Amino acid sequence: MLSLMVVPDYLPDQFSTWYLLNNYLQKKSDQNISLLMPPSFDEVTSQQEKEKVSMLFVNPFSAGTYVREQGYLPLVKPKNKSDEIVIVTAADSDINAIEDLKGSVELALSNNEDANFIGLRLLEPANLSDDELTVKRKDNFLMVASSVIRHQAQVGIVQADVYESFNSVTKNQLKVLLKSRINEVSHVMLYHPDVAAKAEPLQEILCKMADDPDGANIVKALGFPEGFAELSKEDMEFMIDVVDTMRM
């Protein structure tokens, strides 16, 4: 039996949609696939230490570890869908640009370390020292936004897709200071070489989902309106190199 693990940085209302995708893959491939949805990144690590899963849907910042250290291979990525983040402040804040952040600054962060990494890079023009930056950890992006709206933090780091999913009431209480424009990196689906014979046939099914009415509804609900695209080894290595460069 194959197993597919999805890292916990999807929107809450997408939880059940991943089960629909898994059922779709099982039906189209006539294979049994066990879906794993760990509630935290710590449990993702714990699961991998206990038993290597067959396939993973992970963010680009984690992908390098799985590919280069654990031998996973690229399968697909969301088509024309890059991972971006936004820096937000309260709509009524006097802050209108990153450079306006001076002195002691309270920053709201989620537990998504990849989004946090990009966000902290975007905050560099403020030239804030570690002593000037007070980090407030929140469980998810909605709580990050809430803390900014309530002035419990001056700025927050939110995944762009999540920000776009906020209702108008929430958006009207926020102001976007900056959005990342990375373009080259996105979530990816990987597979372990030990299950290549079973995993590789899923590539074609995934890449054709957007052309099938049932599949199209699923990928649209996941935030991938154009579905999935094949991910080559060369493209995967390029993405990892981009991430490594950002970390320098």
Over range 78-105, report the average pLDDT: 94
pLDDT tens for each residue of 66-82: 999 999 999 999 999 98
pLDDT for 156: 97
Over the chain, what is the mean pLDDT?
Answer: 92
pLDDT for 232: 95
Q: What structural domains does the chain harbor?
A: 2-82+185-247 (3.40.190.10), 85-179 (3.40.190.10)
pTM for the complete prediction?
Answer: 0.81
pLDDT for 183: 82
pLDDT tens for each residue of 14-65: 999 999 999 999 999 999 999 999 988 788 888 888 888 999 999 888 899 9
pLDDT for 140: 84
SS (H, E, C) the chain: CEEEEECCCCCHHHHHHHHHHHHHHHHHHCCCEEEECCCCHHHHHHHHHHCCCCEEEECHHHHHHHHHHHCCEEEEEECCCCCCEEEEEECCCCCCCHHHCCCCEEEEECCCHHHHHHHHHHCHHHCCCCCCEEEEECCCHHHHHHHHHCCCCCEEEEEHHHHHHCCHHHHHCEEEEEECCCCCCCCEEEECHHHHHHHCHHHHHHHCHHHCHHHHHHHHHCCCCCCEEECCHHHHHHHHHHHHHHHC
pLDDT for 62: 85
Over range 152-172, report the average pLDDT: 93
pLDDT tens for each residue of 138-148: 988 889 999 99
pLDDT tens for each residue of 190-232: 999 999 999 999 999 999 999 999 999 999 999 899 999 999 9
| pLDDT > 70 in the chain, percent | 100
pLDDT tens for each residue of 112-134: 777 888 899 899 999 999 899 99
11 pLDDT above the threshold of 80: no
